Chains A and B, each alone.
Chain A
């Protein structure tokens, strides 16, 4: 066993930091767009919009049963072709690995968030709908101001745990040779041969960030449990 030398990590920090920023911005984008799209997908299923609901259900089932790495490969291959068709030229539009990763994660996470919100929608008390009707609120207002805020609050611990998994999953962009936290560490490790220090450091960073977020999940859950008990 060779002696460990973590000073190498300090030297590499600026590069690793930019990698971590990439991981975090990918997580943030996938969370924001995934939640918006996921809510739409959940509402399409909730309202049983004819034709569309079946397609959405199929999409969610498909995405949930194949590995993320395979989804990344699919999008890496398909997105340029689809964009080519959309732009009318019919020729594939090369968009690069970074854009692919963002698009993939946004669409992939939308499927997972939509399941959470779909279940949350069913958990809302019937009386809430009746009360909204009694107040003569339109369907849009009912969902916008009464139902969805409750769904988001009730589901917040689960949404946050899903986002922690998402943050960990962003490390899979390694297969597209992108420079996220893990990608940065692995590129440096190959250059300086210090892979033990690099990978241990990356593991500790992921562990610290994810455990901190898990504590927030526990707090949210407790708060929600209290709110439920008072109902």
Chain B
């Protein structure tokens, strides 16, 4: 069934090479996008919980805006609108980027900033789930608010939310497919191209589906390992299931380790 993938395409490569190059772009987008999202997400998530008015309103605005506009629309804003609304010289420089980068860079920014708004909400939920005693103990030890966040709150919150971050990892690699609308030849785009070139739609989409399934499995396993490695000792193992999706969606973190609940 998959034999057609090893036949030669019009450009001299085999179809499987098209798929693999698509997979490469998908992975690059998901990987680098993830680190942008994680960095900004943690900062914005902290911003949602601090008492400084300016910082917390800015963080709230960030989350509201990036979470409530569809990824595809954001993709178009980065790709079509941004070069038009920045000063001409910069706009022209953006437009003159060579082909794969001209779609890769906007897609990377789009996915990174969108996913950041989702991670920020998880970080906030993690911070709010920490028992109050942690902050009180930190201030009893004479730690300032920076040191409290840096050494007490954020490390614990991040360890708590590993299970719920799994769904964001899954989310970002699935959303990479939206980049095909601005011309990035990632996995789904390559599958469609193969189906159009060979009329073997079933094979082309089947191969892409299997690859996505493997990615999901790898992401899930990796996050399980990370969770096992960094889980706060004495807490019950969190199950990586949809419960996290659900709980992580708001301030209720029902997946909290049992021990923490007792402390509260």
Chain A interface residues toward B at CB < 8 A? 1-2, 62, 64-70, 73-74, 77, 115-116, 118-119, 155, 157-158, 161, 164, 168-169, 171-172, 174-175, 182, 186, 189, 195-196, 199-200, 202-203, 206-207, 210-211, 214, 217, 221, 225
A172 to B177, CA, bound (A): 10
Q: Could you say which residues of chain B place their CB within 8 Å of the CB of A115?
A: 242, 245
Taking CB as reference atom, which chain A residue is nearest B66?
A207
Q: Could you say which residues of chain B place their CB within 8 Å of the CB of A207?
A: 64-65, 68-69
Contact A221 B77 (CB under 8 A): no
A203 to B242, CA, bound (A): 30
A44 to B135, CA, bound (A): 46
- Which B107-142 residues have a C-beta within 8 angstroms of A? none
Q: A70-B208, A77-B201 are in contact. Are A1 and B72 (CB under 8 A)?
A: no
Instruction: Report the stretch among B33-41, B82-90, B145-153, B228-236 that lies at the interface.
Output: B82-90
Say if the beta carbon of B224 comes within 8 Å of chain A.
Answer: no
Contact A67 B181 (CB under 8 A): no
Contact A119 B174 (CB under 8 A): no
Taking CB as reference atom, which chain B residue is nearest A123?
B254
Q: Could you say which residues of chain A place their CB within 8 Å of the CB of B205?
A: 70, 73-74, 77
In the complex, how many angstroms separate the beta carbon of A74 from the nearest chain B beta carbon? 6
5 contacts between A and B (CB under 8 A): A67-B176, A70-B208, A175-B180, A182-B72, A203-B69
Contact A202 B73 (CB under 8 A): yes
In the complex, how many angstroms separate the beta carbon of A185 from the nearest chain B beta carbon? 9
Q: Could you say which residues of chain B place their CB within 8 Å of the CB of A67?
A: 174-178, 188, 212
Contact B69 A210 (CB under 8 A): yes
1/0 per residue, CB under 8 A from A, across B228-251: the answer is 000000000000011101100111
Q: Give the contacting residue for B177; candidates A69, A116, A217; CB below 8 A.
A: A69
Contact B181 A211 (CB under 8 A): no
**Interface of B (DSSP majority class):** helix
Contact B243 A119 (CB under 8 A): yes
Q: A70-B177, A116-B242 are in contact. Are A199 and B87 (CB under 8 A)?
A: no
A182 to B88, CA, bound (A): 26
Contact A199 B80 (CB under 8 A): yes
Q: Could you say which residues of chain A place their CB within 8 Å of the CB of B62?
A: none
Contact B73 A199 (CB under 8 A): yes
In the complex, how many angstroms separate the beta carbon of B254 from the nearest chain A beta carbon? 9
Q: Could you say which residues of chain A place their CB within 8 Å of the CB of B209?
A: 62, 66, 70, 74
In the complex, how many angstroms separate the beta carbon of A207 from the nearest chain B beta carbon? 5
In the complex, how many angstroms separate the beta carbon of A174 from the nearest chain B beta carbon? 6
Q: Could you say which residues of chain B place their CB within 8 Å of the CB of A175?
A: 180-181
Q: Could you say which residues of chain B place their CB within 8 Å of the CB of A210?
A: 67-69
In the complex, how many angstroms separate the beta carbon of A51 from the nearest chain B beta carbon? 22
Contact B88 A1 (CB under 8 A): yes
Q: Give the contacting residue for A70; candidates B212, B241, B245, B246; CB below 8 A.
A: B212
A217 to B68, CA, bound (A): 13
Q: Could you say which residues of chain A place their CB within 8 Å of the CB of B246?
A: 116, 119, 155, 158
- Which B203-236 residues have a C-beta within 8 angstroms of A? 205, 208-209, 212-213, 215-216
Q: Give the contacting residue for A65; candidates B170, B201, B252; CB below 8 A.
A: B170
Q: Could you say which residues of chain B place their CB within 8 Å of the CB of A77?
A: 195, 201-202, 205
Q: A2-B84, A158-B246 are in contact. Are A200 and B77 (CB under 8 A)?
A: yes
